[in-house]
Amino acid sequence: MKNKLMFSLAPGILLSGGALYLAFRNVPLKDLSDYIVSYNYLWILPSVAVVFLSFALRTVRWQIILQATHRIDFWQAFHVLMVGFMLNCILPGRVGEIARPAILKKNDNIPFSTGIATVAVERVFDISLLMIFFVVIIALIPMDPHIGITFGGYRLNSRTLDAVSKGMLLMVILIMAGIIMVTLESSRKLIKNVIRRLPALFFFAGFSFQDRVSDKICTPLAHMVDNFAAGFSMIRHPQDIFHCAGLSVIIWALGAFSFYIASLGAPGIHLSFVELAVVMVIVCFFIALPSVPGFWGLWEAGGVFALALFGVSQTDAAGFTLINHAIQMFPVILIGLASAVITGVNILKVPSVLKENNKIV
């Protein structure tokens, strides 16, 4: 078990370590410590308050998605949500996304498959809105094409972001098309039939290998298709989709506003709300990569790169990004731990509970 855990953590540790090195290699430790001391920590409280307002709206959005089959009150949903995000901060593999439906099953007798479907729908809303924000913001914000940062042997600048934004726009279109195909019963059956036939491509490897491919890859993929379809079928009324989309816009706007408030106490950071929104979006794309729990390293690398595009020095960028990361992360962990106590979740037993529930996904 320990070997499997280390094997799963190894890529994230290597990537996070490399990202930390690239983000801080040109920043003297004394300069970084002086920056941290000079930060005006009075701005932490309003920034944290905005973070938790966004989590309250995430809770409301989750209730809307769940309400077609099960109704739970705000505080029940809030505590489960916070436990999930807290686990994402302290355990590898973003297990909090799976922990939330497991807790719902244990505490509210909601089927695990229903819970995982609602989480899948949430992620689709979040990813789609994040991509749209990225495309719109990059199109609106003028950036000096000569300003950038060398990251891992690559020169990252505004031209890089323009190229990425075009790819994001295409991906949003593909996601929307995929949602439509998965939601329609006829196309969903076709997709599942194609998935089930995949083992036949390995005819040269023998029946035992084909069975393993079917059990380990095809069956879970077919379940994922069903879960996505079940999740979107819960949103039975167009106004619910509109409400979820509207809440998603506000949630991401509040996230950017929290970055902006945190920047008001940061020396050397004089960016507008929209510019800080760019920083937030870029950080979110960086932390989508495998990393250690808490996204340490990748968050800092994303922040330093994004701030460099607006001419912020590496020392100021590294100091602000480190402080802002702590502002965004540690309160979530603390509230999540309190929610775990309230809901009776034993964090030490979470891995075994998730393993048990994964067998029925």
| DSSP state at residue 347 | G
Question: Of the ranges 39-53, 59-73, 278-292, which one carries the lowest mean pLDDT score?
Answer: 278-292
Question: Per-residue DSSP letters for 123-167?
Answer: HHHHHHHHHHHHHHHHHHS---TT-EEEETTEEEEHHHHHHHHHH
Q: What is the mean pLDDT of residues 297-303?
A: 84
Pairwise pLDDT comparison (57 vs 207), residue with the higher score: 57
Res 151 pLDDT > 60:
no
Instruction: Could you list the beta-strand ranges (E) of the chain.
Output: 148-151, 154-157
Question: Per-residue DSSP letters for 14-44?
Answer: HHHHHHHHHHHTTS-HHHHHHHHHHS-GGGH
Question: Of the ranges 74-83, 151-160, 173-182, which one carries the lowest mean pLDDT score?
Answer: 151-160
pLDDT tens-place string over residues 25-43: 667 778 888 999 999 999 9
**Residue 150's pLDDT band (cuts 50, 70, 90):** low
pTM metric for this prediction: 0.78
Q: What is the mean pLDDT of residues 121-143?
A: 78
Q: What is the pLDDT of the chain when averaged over all its residues?
A: 79
**Residue 3's pLDDT band (cuts 50, 70, 90):** very low
| DSSP state at residue 199 | G
Res 16 pLDDT > 50:
yes
Pairwise pLDDT comparison (221 vs 280), residue with the higher score: 280
Whole-number Å distance between alpha carbons of 109 and 148? 51
Question: Per-residue DSSP letters for 162-185?
Answer: HHHHHHHHHHHHHHHHHHHHHHSH
Write down the pLDDT at residue 5: 43
Q: Which of 340, 317, 324 is nearest to 262 (CA)?
A: 324
Whole-number Å distance between alpha carbons of 350 and 347? 5
Res 102 pLDDT > 70:
yes
Say if CB 128 and CB 175 are below 8 A apart: yes
